[in-house]
């Protein structure tokens, strides 16, 4: 085998071999990577190890390790050390350039370039890039693309080496380069704390490891301030909190950096002076302090101000006599009257209580009076569902606002929404950011109706806007409580109302709700996969993509990651001739169902929409999607952190959606603090025809009887003061 040699310094049985990566087979969350590789003499083999993290097909690597035998997959090289090397032979250079690593260069063009320049190809690209135009089909634009992609590839490779030296996952290199470009290595080595909060996937611990190994003192003010910011951002991202109590923040930072309270207080004071955080008195106790991140504070203040403005404004809706709908229940009729007379109203209630029919009646009444009505929801699926239920057009809140990416100098400067009545359904999904942008766009005098179920999970982002508004007495509201007869026949709705009341559903169930008891988490995972891919599709005569797997947690054998991988392997497996691309520990193939997890205004794609991968293009380094509304959207390979697979998704990400059939694991492994009533209630109400829960009865009981932790917000106090 080419360049294989004993490595006596480490192990007499070790070998070192120079290879070309042919295909990635597996990348784990822990960076453990399995790849097929080939040596120059044509010998092909499997290499595996964490040292391979970040390797890409086409790359030339110098691997050191030992041969071993995997009990299931046979012989493989267990890699201990990996170095990236420039390919030197004509064949290796052609494979490298044509592998898709360099955007815009496919196998045919790579062959033409190497045929022209031979072994000098990479030197030409480095030192005489204008000569690329000597090759047929390479003009000025293509030449610039090749040179730019080549420079980026070299920079990312250098970052990967640096990250490995610091003991940090090299998979983060592309994300760092995407944020900082040519300054990446400088930032990494001189001020790694900049990365926290700006580069997805880099938490304080990773930046801190780099900083300490670079010689930053443990008691550095820079280090302590970074830890303070990290804990505030973690509270927002992980717990949905708008602020952190000062005492709790000090304790968390002390545990993180092992520094005393005076140093942490100094760090908070310095951040407050720099306007990076805001320190205020607690909403429920003037004797305590709380600490906000800058954005959460400005948004909370702005939202309270805009809602107070709307509530005080005289109605611009010209009331005319209208015919009341005799088919409405009394509380539905009360909702119609309240919306006509209040500029801000909240309509809430459980499943089967007629919220959608009430919205239809309200919209029809306003339109009959000559008013203009706009219907919206936080996600595309929720908007589509609202349109189907009401028979009226609906859109996402983002599209309604014609929203552009915000920046610090233009917060809350939305175009006013031109309508007499704006209805926003699934309002429990409104986080602080989106609610603020919505309220800022509603003109004074227009009526805003927020519709939602306050017993569902709160928003993914910080805040608990719907619940906060319901806690302020001055906000007009109607709660629908009457369950209509046709809804009473649904086992799903019966189960949902029992869960909402803190009671176990009737077990094993019926009428659309079913609980199947299994103890072992592995057996639960196997059963969920069988139900979702075989049993339910066969029995109901449907496609597997009409069954959605929902999980309370991300990790574990019954979490979204592991179940999602197994479902993908079963429903859309790899195959010869099928293009695929690994991004981190996820692989994308044509046919995959995916979810955007971040709003991308340039693409017109928003969090919560779903799409199908239609093509993976290694040459252009693009993944092409078709959204559920029929649009074609492209994501560059380095943008794939904005997507996640939809084979198994969290209950939180299912909000606003409804699926014909839902299957979910309910086990202690999936639980901890996540097994709570609002999560189970939200899960059950995502199904239209059937929901099947598989797991332990004790876990189901835990979920029914556990209330979620209240999020730290001060919106009710701010709104009450603004209205006083």
Query: Is 356 known as a binding-site position?
Result: yes
Question: Is the Cα torsion angle 124, 125, 128, 133 positive or negative in sign?
Answer: positive
Q: How many residues does the chain have?
A: 724
| Residue 39: CB atoms within 10 Å | 17
In whole angstroms, give the CA distance from residue 389 to residue 394. Answer: 10
551 is in an annotated binding site: no
The reply, when asked if residue 708 is annotated as ligand binding, is no
Integer Cα distance of 101 and 620 in angstroms:
9
Select from 603, 298, 594 the least CA-distant residue to 462.
298
| Other residues' Cβ atoms within 10 Å of the Cβ of residue 249 | 23
- Residue 580, SS3 per DSSP: strand
Beta strands in 100-242 (DSSP E): none
The answer to whether the annotation marks 354 as part of a ligand binding site is yes
Kindly compute the dihedral angle of the four CA atoms of residues 439, 442, 443, 446, in this order, to the nearest 10 degrees: -110
| Measured CA distances, 490 to 64, 145, 268, 390, 487 (Å) | 62, 58, 53, 21, 5
Q: Report d(CA 250, CA 497) in Å as an integer.
A: 41
353 is in an annotated binding site: yes
Q: How many CA atoms lie within 13 A of 222 on its CB side?
A: 14
8 A C-beta contact, residue 607 and residue 596: yes
**122 φψ region: left (φ > 0), alpha (ψ -120 to 50), beta (else):** alpha
* CA–CA distance, 505 with 508 (Å, rounded to integer): 8
Residues 6+ apart with CB under 8 A from 316: 420, 443, 444, 445, 446
Under a CB-based contact definition with an 8 Å cutoff, are residues 668 and 696 in contact? Answer: yes
Structure tokens that stand for 660 in this block: 């014909």
Instruction: Count the neighbouring beta carbons within 10 Å of the beta carbon of residue 575.
Output: 8
Whole-number Cα distances in Å, 577 to 12, 57, 58, 133: 40, 15, 16, 31
Judged on CB neighbours under 10 Å (0-12, 13-18, 19+), 330 is exposed
Q: Which residues are annotated as a binding site for ATP?
A: 352-356
Annotated binding-site ranges: 352-356
């Amino acid at each position: 085998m080419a360049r294989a040699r004993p490595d006596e310094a480490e192990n007499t049985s070790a070998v070192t071999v120079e290879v070309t990566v042919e295909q990635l087979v597996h990348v784990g969350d822990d960076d453990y990577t399995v790849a097929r590789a080939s040596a120059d003499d044509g010998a092909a083999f499997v290499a595996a190890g964490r040292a391979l993290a970040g390797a890409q097909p086409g790359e030339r690597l110098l691997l050191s390790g030992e041969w071993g035998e995997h009990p299931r997959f046979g012989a493989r090289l267990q890699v201990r050390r990996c170095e990236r090397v420039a390919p030197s032979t004509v064949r290796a250079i052609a494979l490298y350039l044509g592998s898709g690593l360099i955007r815009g260069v496919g196998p045919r063009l790579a062959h033409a370039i190497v045929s022209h320049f031979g072994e000098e190809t990479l030197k030409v690209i480095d030192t005489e890039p204008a000569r690329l135009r000597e090759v047929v089909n390479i003009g000025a634009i293509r030449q610039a693309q090749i040179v730019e992609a080549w420079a980026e590839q070299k920079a990312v490779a250098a970052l990967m080496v640096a990250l490995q030296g610091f003991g940090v996952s090299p998979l983060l290199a592309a994300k760092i380069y995407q944020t900082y470009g040519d300054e990446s290595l400088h930032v990494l080595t001189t001020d790694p704390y900049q990365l926290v909060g700006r580069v997805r996937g880099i938490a304080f611990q990773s930046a801190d490891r780099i900083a300490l190994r670079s010689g930053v003192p443990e008691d550095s003010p820079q280090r302590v301030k970074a830890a303070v910011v990290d804990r505030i951002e973690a509270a927002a991202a992980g717990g949905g909190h708008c602020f952190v109590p000062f005492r709790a923040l000090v304790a968390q930072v002390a545990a993180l950096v092992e520094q005393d309270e005076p140093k942490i207080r100094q760090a908070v004071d310095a951040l407050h002076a720099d306007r990076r955080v805001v320190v205020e008195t607690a909403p429920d106790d003037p004797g305590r302090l709380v600490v906000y991140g800058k954005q959460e504070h400005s948004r909370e203040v702005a939202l309270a101000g805009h809602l107070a403005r709307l509530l005080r404004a005289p109605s611009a809706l010209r009331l005319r006599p209208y015919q009341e709908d005799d088919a409405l229940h009394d509380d539905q009729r009360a909702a119609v009257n309240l919306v006509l007379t209040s500029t801000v109203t909240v309509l809430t209630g459980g499943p089967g209580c007629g919220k959608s029919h009430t919205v239809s009646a309200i919209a029809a009444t306003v339109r009959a009076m000559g008013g203009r009505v706009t219907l919206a929801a936080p996600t595309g699926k929720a908007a589509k569902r609202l349109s189907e239920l009401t028979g009226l057009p609906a859109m996402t809140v983002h599209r309604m606002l014609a929203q552009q990416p915000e920046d610090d100098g233009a917060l809350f400067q939305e175009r006013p929404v031109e309508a007499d009545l704006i209805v926003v359904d699934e309002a429990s999904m409104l986080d602080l950011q989106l609610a603020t942008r919505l309220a800022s766009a509603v003109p004074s005098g227009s009526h805003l109706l927020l519709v939602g179920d306050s017993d569902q999970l709160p928003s993914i982002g910080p805040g608990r806007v719907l619940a906060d508004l319901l806690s302020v007495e001055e906000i007009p509201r109607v709660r629908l409580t009457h369950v209509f007869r046709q809804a009473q026949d649904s086992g799903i709705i019966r189960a949902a109302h029992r869960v909402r009341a803190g009671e176990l559903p009737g077990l094993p169930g019926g009428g659309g709700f079913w609980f199947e008891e299994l103890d072992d988490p592995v057996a639960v995972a196997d059963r969920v996969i069988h139900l979702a891919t075989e049993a339910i599709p066969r029995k109901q005569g449907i496609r597997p993509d009409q069954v959605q797997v929902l999980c309370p947690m991300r990790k574990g054998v019954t979490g979204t990651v592991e179940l999602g991988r197994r479902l993908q392997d079963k429903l859309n497996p790899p195959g010869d001739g099928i293009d695929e691309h690994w991004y981190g520990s996820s692989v994308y193939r044509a046919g995959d169902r995916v979810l955007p997890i971040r709003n991308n205004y340039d693409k017109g794609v928003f969090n919560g929409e779903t799409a199908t991968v239609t093509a993976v293009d290694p040459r252009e380094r693009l993944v092409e999607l078709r959204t559920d509304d029929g649009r074609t959207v492209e994501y560059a390979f380095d943008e794939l952190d904005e997507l996640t697979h939809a084979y198994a998704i969290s209950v939180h990400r299912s909000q606003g959606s409804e699926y014909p059939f839902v299957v979910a694991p309910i086990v202690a492994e999936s639980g901890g603090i996540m097994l709570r009533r609002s999560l189970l209630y939200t899960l059950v109400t995502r199904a239209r025809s059937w929901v099947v829960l598989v797991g332990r009865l004790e876990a189901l009981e835990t979920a029914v009887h556990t209330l979620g932790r209240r999020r730290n917000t001060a919106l009710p106090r701010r709104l009450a003061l603004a209205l006083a």
